[in-house]
Amino acid sequence: MPCIQPQPKPRILIIGSLNIDIVTTTPRIPHPGETITATSRTLSPGGKGANQAVACGRAAFVSPTKQDVSVSIVGAVGGKDGYFASLIEPILRTSGVETEGVSVVEGGDEAIPTGTSLILVDAESAENRILFVPGANYVGMRDVEWILHRSLAGNESKGAPDVVVLQGEILHATTIALLEFFNAETVKTHVVFNPAPMPPQGIPPTTLRGLAVLVMNETECLLLAQSLGLVPEVTGISGFQFDTIASHLLNLGTKNIIVTLGGDGAYFASETGRGHVPAVTVDRVVDTTAAGDTFTGYVAVALARVLTSAGPECEGGCVRDSLGEFDLRAAVEGASVAAAKCVQVAGSMGSIPFGYEL
């Protein structure tokens, strides 16, 4: 298989949100109009982009001192609340994530806040409900040319990223433009896309052509299927056939599809096969907040690793122009183990395991 660009180790770039998580744990979810006493409240770094960056960075540690994949992030934070310097950047850096691509948005007379997620955790079931306040994630991520400059031209010494990870917590128009750019046949970067939250208008089918990996949960899969006209509007998700949408997405040109099913494991599909990986059994689920982001990050690292291989024709490693050797089942199995470890620890970023801990 031909090598197209010599490189010491693969490079992953996450383009996405950086937030502060305000997590409140409650004995149960209150009914409309009801006030109950919560058991705890914490303030911690989060955001799907930052969480997935931490997951990629930590997954890449094969030992406490060795990281075999380079990881960086492009995003935006508020300049007047101090959360990036005090809470977000330190954990990104200690997780092996380069943060030079993060822009601090001052906002002039109007203070632009760092994005905020308000998370309500049910103590008994460990399930969560999340409200997202975009802040700088929208204001600072409008200019696609600026984002591409930070992603490409700002890293001449390293070259274009081998894998780009995208989610849905920045502007929809920006996400679509980035999908169109990085999924183009002329660009050798491979994209891992986690459409969370799924935008009400859905995802244009043309932007999914050439997508390396699409990672969704069951609800996001249903919403995408509805936006593509594959299933009717329904009140629930029982009886939904994953093979139906997988076949359609493969025909559109998406290479690999994963649907995470919580305690029921994960469904996967590609041109070479389909299957189901059962969930890893854990003694006690404490907090599911970052489980999906952990899963996505570990899948991205598994993909990046197969895009590079040492060989006599390309000493030190080389980037492959094909996904032919990507073992989707193995990637899902590894990501499931990481997510299972994550849900046994409270919090978001802090609960994400390092690769050498698995």
Residue 264 is labelled as binding a ligand: yes
Residue 262 is labelled as binding a ligand: yes
CA angle 191, 192, 198 (to 5 degrees): 115
Q: By three-state DSSP, how is residue 109 classified? A: coil
Q: By three-state DSSP, how is residue 92 classified? A: helix
Residue 49 is labelled as binding a ligand: yes
Q: By three-state DSSP, how is residue 166 classified? A: strand
Residue 107 is labelled as binding a ligand: no
Instruction: Specify the pairing of strand 66-67 against strand 61-63.
Output: antiparallel
Residue 188 is labelled as binding a ligand: no
Residue 260 is labelled as binding a ligand: yes
Instruction: For tokens 């917590």, name the residue.
Output: 169
Residue 332 is labelled as binding a ligand: no
Which of these, 76, 79, 74, lies nearest to 152 by C-alpha position?
74
Beta bridge partners of 6: 318
Residue 51 is labelled as binding a ligand: yes
Q: How many CB atoms lie within 10 A of CB 272?
A: 12
> Cα–Cα distance between 167 and 201 in angstroms, integer?
15
| Count of H-run helices and E-run strands, the chain | 10, 17
- What token pair was written down for 137? 């994630």
Residue 263 is labelled as binding a ligand: yes
Residue 351 is labelled as binding a ligand: yes
Q: Which long-range contacts (CB under 8 A, 24 or more apart) does 89-92 make?
A: 91/45, 91/54, 91/349, 91/350, 92/45, 92/50, 92/53, 92/54, 92/57
Q: At what angle do helices 144-151 and 172-182 cross, to 10 degrees?
A: 50
Residue 292 is labelled as binding a ligand: yes
Residue 162 is labelled as binding a ligand: no
Residue 321 is labelled as binding a ligand: no
Backbone CA torsion sign across 277, 283, 285, 288 = negative
Start-to-end C-alpha separation, the chain: 31
- What token pair was written down for 108? 């002039």
Instruction: For tokens 């409200």, name the residue.
Output: 131
Residue 342 is labelled as binding a ligand: yes
Catalytic residue among 68, 81, 162, 293: 293
Residue 265 is labelled as binding a ligand: yes
Catalytic-residue membership of 109: no
Residue 218 is labelled as binding a ligand: no
Residue 21 is labelled as binding a ligand: yes
Residue 327 is labelled as binding a ligand: no
Residue 345 is labelled as binding a ligand: yes
> Cα–Cα distance between 238 and 263 in angstroms, integer?
15
* Binding-site entries for ATP: 217, 260-265, 292-293
* Binding-site entries: 19-21, 47-51, 169, 217, 260-265, 287, 289, 292-293, 342, 345, 347, 351
* Binding-site entries for substrate: 19-21, 47-51, 169, 293
Catalytic residues: 293
* Binding-site entries for K(+): 287, 289, 342, 345, 347, 351
